[in-house]
Structure 1
Amino acid sequence: MKLNNMFSSALILGGGVIGYAGTEDLLKNFLNPGAQKMLLIGGTLTGVILCLLGGWFTFRSITRRFSGILTGLYDSTQQISSASSQVASSSQALAEGTSTAASAIEETSASLEELSSMTRKTFDHSASMTKSGDVTFALMKGCHKSLRETDSCMKRIGDAGEQAAKVIKTSDEIAFQINLLALNAAVEAARAGEAGAGFAVVAEEVRNLATRSAEAARDTERIIGAMSGHIQEGASLVGRTLEQFYSMGDEGKKTNSLIKEINAASGEQSQGIEQINKAIAEMDRVTQQSASGAEESASAAEELAAQAEQMNAHIGDVASLFGIGLNDMAENGPGMPAERGERLLSLAPNRHGYIQTANSIGR
């Protein structure tokens, strides 16, 4: 393109020189001196105008190319500005979303921390309950052992009461026999008369003692019978208590086992919550980094948009040096306005008119 422009300029200049030389030859052969001067002046003006036209066409070609470059730069900066605005908007929305997510994660982390604290307390309480259950179970075993010994002792007391009742019954029978012997002795003393009077008194006293002994034996038997009944009732109560303790022992074992399971589950739950808390803390860190990166991207996009606007302004300044408007580039395409070419063409004189004028002056 540059070679073509240079070649066109050379042709125009060469044509002007040749035209001038040819005109000079014609002047010498056909025209008078006055007409020759006028025609030389016209030829010179024609050469100058042709040179101006050649320069104008060259300048127009350069301007077209430069206008195309400026138009491309303008379109590129417009696209960059639009894209950077979209990136800034998206980055800002992303930053707001990540900030909201970070706030939600922080609230969730706080709730999990509270839940973790409650779980640790539950674990500690269940551990204390496990220890208390072990102590209670040991005490229940001790009570069960004492109740079994009490039941055995009550049975021995019952057996001793039965043996005492048998002894009292034997004593009652002995007293009855003594009473019979005292009666027989009194009968024999009565038969003996005065000789048996003292023996009769002794027999009467023996009879009274036998009667009192029999009454005491019956009272003792009655008391021992009542004691035996109470002992049997106590033994029955101890037996039922033992059965209840057996049931309580089984339920205590189950309760202790459940407490241990709860303790183990609470420990696992506490560990799981700790792991979740760590994961949420990591998510919070990543989200904070994402929010920071999104804000930086939005800032960079806004800066890029500002740079694109500044570049558009510089392109407008450069285009104005060549008389090119950005609106003309966007609407009509590159190139110099046609009015300037028309004005330059209007300045070009008619060569034949110059010749005719010169001839008329020469005549």
Structure 2
Amino acid sequence: MTKHIKSSISKKILTITLSSLIFVQIFATIISSSYIVKNTRQNMEQEALLKVDGLSTSIRNEITYRDNIIRSIKASIENSSQNNSLTRKEILDLLMLNMSAYKKLYAVDFKEIPHGLPNLKDGESNLGTNLHGIFLPYLVRKSNDHIELYTPAEHYGDVYNNIINTGKSSGLEPYIDIETKIPMVSPTYPITINGKRVAAVGVDIPLDWISELLKKAKITENSSVSLLSDKKLWIYNRRNTSNLEAYNDPHSSLIDRSIQTHTFSIDYAYNDGNNIRIASPVKLDGFDQVWTIIVNIPNKDLNYPIYKNIAKIIIPGIILIILSTLLIFKILKNSLKEPLDHILDSVSTLEKGDYTRITADLNRTDEIGAISRGLENFRTSLLQAEKNNTLQVLEREQAAQERKRVSQQKEREEIERLNVSEAIRKGLSALAEGNMAYRIADEFPEHFAVMKTDFNAACTQLQKTIAAVQSGVVAIGAGAKQITTSSSDMARRTEQQAANIEESSVALNRVVDMVRESSNNAAQAACVTDAARKRAEASREIVQSAVNAMGEIEARFVEINQVIGLIDDIAFQTNLLALNAGIEAARAGEAGRGFSVVATEIRNLALRSTEGARNVKSLVSNSANFVTDGVNLVDRTGDALGAIFQQMNDIDHLVSSIAQAANAQSITLEEINSAVQEMTTTTQQNAALVEENTMAISSLNQEAVGLGEQTSFFRVRPHTERHKSSAHKTAHEDCIIW
């Protein structure tokens, strides 16, 4: 059999194993390389981002540090000037003190809004004040660290105008200083005293330190770092220039958008994929200016660590594959080839029909041992199959004899089943003819005996039921006749009662009509009485109003008497004055003669006023007496009307009570009348029900007769007893039919 084998299984296993190892190694290398590339690149990018963020933080902190100086100057001036206690000289000294203390400041600038500060006092120094009286000190640090004071003749600069107009801080847009040629920023703040903007103060901060900071920054080995202003001007770029050139790079639209929107972004395809460009915003606290750090990283700086790490994985993998190949070849040669040859020999022996040779390598615990044991089991099965052929011939003969015996047994059981079916058919036929006394007397085989017992028991129970139905039909007929008689009597009495109730209802209706009419008359009387009471009440109110009016008139007469008394007093005083005037005119002689005539006329008028007042007072007194008499008469009239009103009120209450009682009687009688009518209706319904019951009982009697005729078909007694019961049945027929 081995001559047909062209390639051994050991060679195939070795080939497959080596191929699998190489494939696994290549796949693991690819996965690991991908993971290494991703992680290494991410780590380097993350490290670069952290360094960029550190640069951003350093720039922001330096700008904030210098900006805090001008903030402190602003706060010192505002706090000290709240009580108008800070002079121009003190402001200048404060500016000079900060310039001396902070060496990183290039200049400090103070610009007064015209007439924002108080005017110069007598004897006050005019340092920093121009010819127009405006305080404009400008302190500049020279190269020898000497501080000089300049006083501009006029205001200048858009930054100043923007701060004065808006009240917001500004000045972080870089510019080139004319004298030093260095980029600078000038953060400037408005000064507000007592809610009014009076000046602006700012500092000039050189940005040459940013160039040194970005030159020393090492994001990667060959990277470059640049800085853009908010208006896209180069504060510092990779060409080591800082002349605030305009930014213009057509190779990276993503970075352009990041600069415009002040957001962080990374362009992985910059310069045709040879570089990575990072844009990181630098947000300056307190200002609306945002600078941007631009970082260019060559891809070779990121790829070198990746290649280095991949080489560390591939070389050990190749060595491992070679060693694994040698080891597997030796193992397969020693442990697989010889056992397989033994198995092939055993298969060849079985192929020749020799089932007595035991298979080798049965005690091995590997797959070869399992195959050997399986082959041995197969050999044992073939040997056992050969022995079983003889036994199968004997078993087939015994099976034929058993089938013959079973066939004979089935024929006997079929005959017994037919006999049982015939006996049950006869019993069912007797029941169909109405013979309830029929019973099966034949003997059934043992396994059919229960059918005989159940059939006879069912017939016995059915016989009892039919007999009970026949007896019940007779009883129902007798009871129906008695109920019919009683129902006829009840119908007669119910009709008589309905007639009596109807007559009572007619009489009660007449009483209800009379009571209703009395109630209506009482209600009308109550309405008339109530109207009279209301008119009396209105008259009483009118009289009360007249009494009140008379009282007012009496009070006015008293006031008139007081006024007349006042007029009398005035006339008396006027008379005295006229008399004194006449005396003084007489003393004056000829010069007072005209005045004497006037005094005489005034005295005459005063006498006439006194006489008229007395006459009016007399008339008023007489009228007051008449009014008093009228008040007394009106009071008496009001008392009389009050008594009449009280009597009318009592009459109204009595009539209302009568009307309410009559109304209540009318309602009660109507309820009684309704109850009587309901009794009449109920009685008539009862009479109709009695008639319906009579008809139903008659129908029930007819049904009982029909049921008796149908049950008479069944014979519930043996044939000898049937003739005895027929006479008894005839005797009861009169009770069923009427």
Q: TM-score range by the shorter chain?
A: 0.3 to 0.5
Q: Normalising by structure 1, what TM-score?
A: 0.38
Larger relative contact order (C-alpha < 8 A, sep ≥ 6)? 1
Q: Normalising by structure 2, what TM-score?
A: 0.20
